[in-house]
Structure 1
Amino acid sequence: MASPPAAYQGSGPGGALDVDRAFYARLAAAECATAESFTLPIRSGRAWEVPAGHLCRISTPEGPQVGDLNIWNRHDPRERLWASRTRQLQAAHITTYDRLWSTLPFLRPLATVTADTLADHGTDADGGRVHDLLGTRCDPYVNRMLTGGDFDFHCHSNLTRAVMPYGLTEFDVHDVLNVFQCTGLNDEDRYFMKASPARAGDHIAFFAETDLLMALSTCPGGDLSVDLWGPNAGDPLQVCRPLAVEVLRPPEELLDGWSPPRRADYAGLHGLHRPQWGADAG
């Protein structure tokens, strides 16, 4: 029996959910100049800027490692990645040509995936898939609730420290994209995590549709092959590895005809009426 169709569907070619795959494929294949590069150590976080029209590539230089990614509009942090709407408009696990959508009242693509070396992973025997929007970041509050102990280097804390230089706080940290993380729903409809299938040199790349602030945490769970909680929990330190980040500038000619997406067209009245003043009032 065929599964039900997706609830959120565009109007076809040229519609709001249509993607110019040829454009993003050219960007993925281009020789790009490196604007910035760094390696993020284990159990840490860092924030950085990605100008509109640039690419950002996150990779696993030493082997599998999960990263928790947050994204904001660089000029207005109220506009940020909306994980739940992206799940509805794209997928619960994203790959090449999927877009990361922003919160209301903006509702536009912040970034588009241009490359994913794990695209062929598909769905494994347990129903697991990679690059997860189903779950969110690990945090010290849940850790305290489940274990009774404190740990200050969960992804929520790493991201909180990372964004402080940009004037942001814990309240700006939001639901993440879990890059390289393999997850799904089990037979009880409960969220599971399993060991990342990434290998040394795997990467995922994003095209910045507008000026972005990105922040990444190298998850303290490492590749998630060791349980963080429950009866089999242990310290995953031995399976923690760094992540590498590159900001890349593509050739200008590849961007001919491209422009940053506009914010949502809806006028934002929400059923309210504009006040009438002067001669037209009455």
Structure 2
Amino acid sequence: MKLENPKFTAPADADDRKAITPVICYPPETLVQPDLSGLRQLRQSAAKTAEVTAGARDAACIDVPAGAFVRVVSVDGPQVGDLNMWNRHDLTERFYSGKTRALHGTHLSTGDRMWSSFPNMRPMATIVGDTLDWYGFDDFGGSVHDVIGTRCDPYTGRLLSGDDYHHCCHSNLTRALANHCDLPLHEAEMLVHDVLNVFMCTGFTRDTGQYFMKASPVRPGDYLEFYAEIDLIVGLSACPGGDCSSEHSSDTAACYPLLIEVFDPGQEARAAHVQPARSAYDRTHGTG
């Protein structure tokens, strides 16, 4: 929080210091760009092969083979979802929201990629369709599909309210992964990670820099669609905050299910897909 009355006097050149032009920390120009036109053409031949529903205030997981498409769909009403991704063959390789944010920005849309955790550091999925791309950034600085929030969880809820709430996104994803992979609950919890907040409208307040949420613009039929770069488990929680216009980590908001659909372009097309290589860094960390 910014202090309204700072204790220290600004230096004489304060305005000049504030006027310095910012530098992008991780310029993305050298990243390999996805072939979106080729992926759109491939998508036309894909047929729906699987689906699962994340019930209101609950979560679900689904397997998605490399070279297939997965779509998150709003069905009955305005609802945001917290999304996790894991390598189906190695659950320790999972979505890295912080590095994805550093490479692509605070909010994701078509053409952006979802990067995996160290030491792999490779694209797990590429966003190929976003029916909310019209929203852009509003006058408050808000936009949709953020990688700045963590996920609502029972630990923060306990800290702030003193109560235990078991249907926040962290707990929902924990149960869903445990059931999907037949894992003990405590093992699954350690694999749940920071999320892509699908359909959620968020930003930072301009005066205090606080993370805010507002009513999502999502409508039934809206979707966010990905191309699976590697074999994935996709987990999605239908947030107890509903459209996140008021609060989460409670049963107050109206909530709706979210649908996950898998579209497969066929075994031949999937076999032709080249999975991204893991990071080539030698992992000596200066000791070699």
Could you give the per-residue CA deviations for residues 146-197 of structure 1, whole angstroms, max 9, x where no partner exists? Answer: 1111111000000010111313511111100000000000020110011110
Residue type matched to 1:262 in 2?
A: A
**Structure 2 matches for 1:1-282, cutoff 5 A?**
4-10=22-28, 12=29, 15-28=30-43, 30-165=44-179, 166=181, 167=183, 168-186=187-205, 187-228=207-248, 235-237=251-253, 239-251=254-266, 258-273=273-288
Could you give the per-residue CA deviations for residues 3-56 of structure 1, whole angstroms, max 9, x where no partner exists? Answer: 63522124x4xx43422232233244x142111012221001111111100110
The alignment partner of 2:99 has SS state of helix
The alignment partner of 1:120 has SS state of coil
Q: Does the CA-based 8 Å contact 2:69-2:225 persist in structure 1?
A: yes
CA gap 1:79/1:2 in 2 versus in 1, 3 angstroms: same
TM-score by length of 2: 0.86
Residue type matched to 2:225 in 1?
A: A
- Shift of the alpha carbon at 1:244? 0.8
- Shift of the alpha carbon at 1:92? 1.0
Q: Does the CA-based 8 Å contact 2:68-2:270 persist in structure 1?
A: no
- Shift of the alpha carbon at 1:125? 1.8
- The whole-number CA distance in structure 1 between the counterparts of 2:273 and 2:91 is 24
CA gap 1:183/1:3 in 2 versus in 1, 3 angstroms: farther
CA gap 1:250/1:3 in 2 versus in 1, 3 angstroms: farther
- The whole-number CA distance in structure 1 between the counterparts of 2:168 and 2:107 is 22
Runs of 4+ in 1 over 6 A off after TM superposition: none
Residue type matched to 1:236 in 2?
A: T
Residue type matched to 1:133 in 2?
A: V
The alignment partner of 2:92 has SS state of strand
The alignment partner of 1:164 has SS state of helix
- Shift of the alpha carbon at 1:62? 1.3
Q: Does the CA-based 8 Å contact 1:224-1:236 persist in structure 2?
A: no
CA gap 1:162/1:8 in 2 versus in 1, 3 angstroms: same
CA gap 1:260/1:202 in 2 versus in 1, 3 angstroms: same
- The whole-number CA distance in structure 2 between the counterparts of 1:92 and 1:224 is 18
- The whole-number CA distance in structure 1 between the counterparts of 2:45 and 2:21 is 41
Where structure 2 has 5 or more consecutive residues not aligned to the other structure, the ranges are 1-18
- The whole-number CA distance in structure 2 between the counterparts of 1:6 and 1:25 is 30
Aligned positions, number: 264
- The whole-number CA distance in structure 2 between the counterparts of 1:203 and 1:138 is 22
The alignment partner of 2:134 has SS state of helix
The alignment partner of 2:190 has SS state of helix
- Shift of the alpha carbon at 1:113? 0.3
Residue type matched to 2:24 in 1?
A: A
- Shift of the alpha carbon at 1:253? 6.4
CA gap 1:235/1:226 in 2 versus in 1, 3 angstroms: farther
- The whole-number CA distance in structure 1 between the counterparts of 2:24 and 2:94 is 24
